[in-house]
Structure 1
């Protein structure tokens, strides 16, 4: 049988309990607080205050003294006492009702009046998700802003393009970054939409029919509706779900987590690209002066930030399936098999997204480009890409297209053999210069091989994209961007 092998005096240490790396290594303090017990249960108490205020305003026998007493206890939570109650009653909401009632004896009779557990549970989840999205969106905007500056700076720097991870026609460093940017714009849109679409569950009762509240207000349906509206407004929501079961539809969770999962896919794609480019020594993420890349190989500069992003993003991507499956198995008005899963999935989705964005921002604030390495790689491939241009130049100087094609074909294969079989540099241009047939265009070869003539409209595309699509998003967050862009320092 397994036993704790730590010394007895250490067994109660926090280091002998499981601790999520999202808390200890990766996520921000703000997002950790958003999913903390303090935030959760103080929000429950706020919701009980909102309910009492609205019920009093609509005529129920609730006093100002009772409400003031409840307001004074919002953050004063005896967690140990709540845990004792829950151990006894096996019900988290009732445990906190009893704990609050002991703290607020005058208000005890009206705490949770007419409500079901999902009044505090579900409405709190909606508030926390809303606040979570409000934390994440400025971080997305900060990444977008940093990438936009990078794309603009390098919009005209030619670099090998790749299809099938094989060298293809040239693009530019900035144009490639604009592809990452485009995905992040979609993420900003999806997260904004998810935030704006969030509504309040409100006061709906045990199966969503509001029967208990109709009884409280002696059949006055207009007061029940007004109660729903008032509580929603007190909680900061303009809209509420007009029909629910005992819970709001778990399709809402699916929409939010899907948007977060999409962000994970974007981050993974970008950081995978960075890892590939780092291997080619064309581009690197920040590397600190004292950073160690390998315990055995001192020379290594591993892309650990990008690898971390990929690791976190991969977890984030998988959480979408959890939310989808949870929604799919909710029977009729609700079952409780969503609860334990949602405690994990919702918190981890937001904390993982937060950690990924913090790491991404750190990367974007310190990307390093190596133009000379990029130029060398272009020189190894461009002669092959320029063969059609050489043929056209020869034809314009009176050459026969088919004869020229054959000569270029033979020389290209000879040069290719030097590269692949001998491990030498691409010497196709030297071969062209040595062949008397090509004398008419020797003076044109430098201009024919000018990499900037192979990038098409890439620089203009980047400028147009930033001006028309990126800048409006940056402007949207301009008032809070400075705080969001404070240098991102990674914990570990």
Structure 2
């Protein structure tokens, strides 16, 4: 049995997607570390810190497929980080040019930059998924612009609305999240290069360090930060916190859908797939599985946002432990949101809207049905004299 749902062959596609798992796989991570090392060499050659021929050799000869992965795993457990073991093997691959590999960098420079490259790929996937969910909601809002339903406040019938209106409210939050995601991407995806204590002292006291970092950022399509962010982790906090917020908005949709799918409401049903939501003992059941998974993901994402906030409190110029929280929190957050968006797109694209039942339920709001004619009349007089229907 797997120790987490993210690795489980039974559950992994319920709490993630294959595409996002690939972005955050060990293989992809090591490749992004190599990408960062080769890009750094090219940037330093551009600035004139290392020979151009050495940068060319490093770029051409650094080869993931030639790595001894068993040795890499063993040495990573010993060192505590994978960069030094990777650098040792890649330097051997590059021959004489290998002595210029990792020039002036520290382990966290490369690991943070590799994570930023993963985040860049992951955000591109999330933006596509979010767009698909928004498209599905626009379609529902358009199709049901005239489908009158009971508005509900405090779980009681309030005034009539349309189901299209309800979908448009759901959509409005996701539209704002799409804008936030674009802004966060532009702000948070920063290259990391500062050297041992973040001061770029290993490259001298001239402008070469800052010029290298700018060239490094251009090579990788990342933002050039104003200063080293080894212990200023607000960028990753912004991303994970935003993912928790998006997950919460999806969880709100899921909650509404689940209630409207209940036998008492009977107004919606998730898309029919043979066996989907089936019960082992009750053949009449059709459980809202996608909504349940979206709801669970929202709660798990809230937990991830708490963990990433803990990771912001780091000591001096290099953390003694909070950084390690990110190694689990960041990939899992991307996976959870990708999984929730996948479930949302599936559910909303094929959602069955039972207009007859919706219309029937609107008549439940007749006060006489519950209060009796005398009480209903009193209720009507109260409304007329106060000018308010209450909440």
With the length of structure 2 as denominator, give the TM-score of the two structures.
0.88
Which residue of structure 2 lines up, in the alignment, with residue 75 of structure 1? 64
Distance 1:61 1:201, change over 3 A: closer
The one-character-per-residue Cα deviations of 1:422-460 (angstroms, maximum 9, x if unpaired) are xxxxxxxxxxxxxxxxxxxxxxxxxxxxxxxxxxxxxxx
Matches within 5 A, 1:423-434: none
State whether structure 2 residue 176 is matched by structure 1 residue 212: no
State whether structure 2 residue 157 is matched by structure 1 residue 184: no
Matches within 5 A, 1:52-71: 52-64=41-53, 67-71=56-60
Q: CA deviation at 1:303?
A: 0.8
Distance 1:175 1:33, change over 3 A: same
Which residue of structure 2 lines up, in the alignment, with residue 365 of structure 1? 349
Which residue of structure 1 lines up, in the alignment, with residue 92 of structure 2? 102
1:302 & 1:90 partners in 2: Cα distance? 45
State whether structure 2 residue 112 is matched by structure 1 residue 129: no
Q: For the Cα contact (< 8 Å) 1:46–1:71, is it kept in 2?
A: no
User: Which secondary structure state, in structure 2, belongs to the residue aligned with residue 345 of structure 1?
Assistant: helix
Q: For the Cα contact (< 8 Å) 1:201–1:248, is it kept in 2?
A: no
1:163 & 1:40 partners in 2: Cα distance? 48
User: Which secondary structure state, in structure 1, belongs to the residue aligned with residue 145 of structure 2?
Assistant: coil
Which aligned runs of 4 or more in structure 1 are off by greater than 6 angstroms? none
Instruction: Give the number of aligned pairs.
Output: 371
With the length of structure 1 as denominator, give the TM-score of the two structures.
0.71
User: Which secondary structure state, in structure 2, belongs to the residue aligned with residue 168 of structure 1?
Assistant: strand
Which residue of structure 2 lines up, in the alignment, with residue 401 of structure 1? none
Which residue of structure 2 lines up, in the alignment, with residue 273 of structure 1? 256
Q: For the Cα contact (< 8 Å) 1:275–1:306, is it kept in 2?
A: yes
1:410 maps to which of 374, 383, 387 = 374
Q: CA deviation at 1:67?
A: 2.8
Which residue of structure 1 lines up, in the alignment, with residue 157 of structure 2? 167
2:336 & 2:277 partners in 1: Cα distance? 25
Matches within 5 A, 1:51-450: 51-64=40-53, 67-76=56-65, 77-214=67-204, 219=205, 221-237=206-222, 239-244=223-228, 247=230, 249-279=232-262, 280-291=265-276, 293-327=278-312, 329-382=313-366, 384=368, 409-410=373-374, 412=376
- Bigger mean CA offset, 144-153 vs 92-101: 92-101
2:113 & 2:231 partners in 1: Cα distance? 9
1:85 & 1:22 partners in 2: Cα distance? 23
Q: CA deviation at 1:236?
A: 0.8
2:54 & 2:235 partners in 1: Cα distance? 37
Q: CA deviation at 1:313?
A: 1.6
Q: CA deviation at 1:101?
A: 2.1
User: Which secondary structure state, in structure 2, belongs to the residue aligned with residue 149 of structure 1?
Assistant: helix
CA RMSD of aligned residues (A): 2.4
Q: CA deviation at 1:23?
A: 6.1
Q: CA deviation at 1:204?
A: 1.3
Q: 5+ unaligned residues in a row in structure 1: which ranges?
A: 1-14, 388-407, 417-492
Q: CA deviation at 1:380?
A: 2.7
1:369 & 1:355 partners in 2: Cα distance? 24
User: Which secondary structure state, in structure 2, belongs to the residue aligned with residue 269 of structure 1?
Assistant: helix
Q: For the Cα contact (< 8 Å) 1:66–1:106, is it kept in 2?
A: no
Distance 1:292 1:342, change over 3 A: closer
The one-character-per-residue Cα deviations of 1:171-199 (angstroms, maximum 9, x if unpaired) are 11101111111111121122111111124
Q: CA deviation at 1:384?
A: 4.9
